[in-house]
Amino acid sequence: MQRKVYYLSTCDTCRRIMKEVGVDDSFEQQDIKFSPVTEYQVEALYKYTGSYEALINKRARKLKGVLAENPISGDADYKKLLLMDYTFLKRPVFEINGQLFVGNASKVVEEIKEALGR
């Protein structure tokens, strides 16, 4: 059974969701602040979503400054953002048995619980 979570240890929402869904030692856990996502990982996440934009945290404070200097012209630019800074990844991201769950919306959290049989 494949289980992985990309999260930010300093994010209260990530910690709350991980506790709520019961993340334990059966999960590979990657704190993206200390172990940033690689290009290979970003491309693997893209295969699930079909869009780099779907992986972007549009509420990231740094995003407005970056976009003011460099407007987005396509998916390649979103990929660059994901590789530029960990804050640009929408989180948490759960990979569970071939399914991907991105973000902290209550609907997503319920889908994670369902995928885990909880």
Dihedral (Cα; 14, 89, 33, 24), 10-degree rounding:
40
Number of domains in the chain: 1
pLDDT at 74 over 90: no
pLDDT in tens, 27-71: 999 999 999 999 999 999 999 999 999 999 988 888 877 777 777
Residues recorded for the chain: 118
CATH number at residue 105: 3.40.30.10
Task: Name the burial class of residue 85, with classes exposed (0-12), middle (13-18) and buried (19+) by CB atoms within 10 angstroms of its CB.
Answer: middle
pTM score of the predicted model: 0.91
Inter-residue contact 24 to 116 (CB < 8 Å): no
> pLDDT at position 4, please?
97
pLDDT in tens, 86-97: 999 999 999 999
Cα(104)–Cα(14) distance, integer angstroms: 8
Position 38, amino acid: T
Domain hosting residue 96, numbered range: 3-115
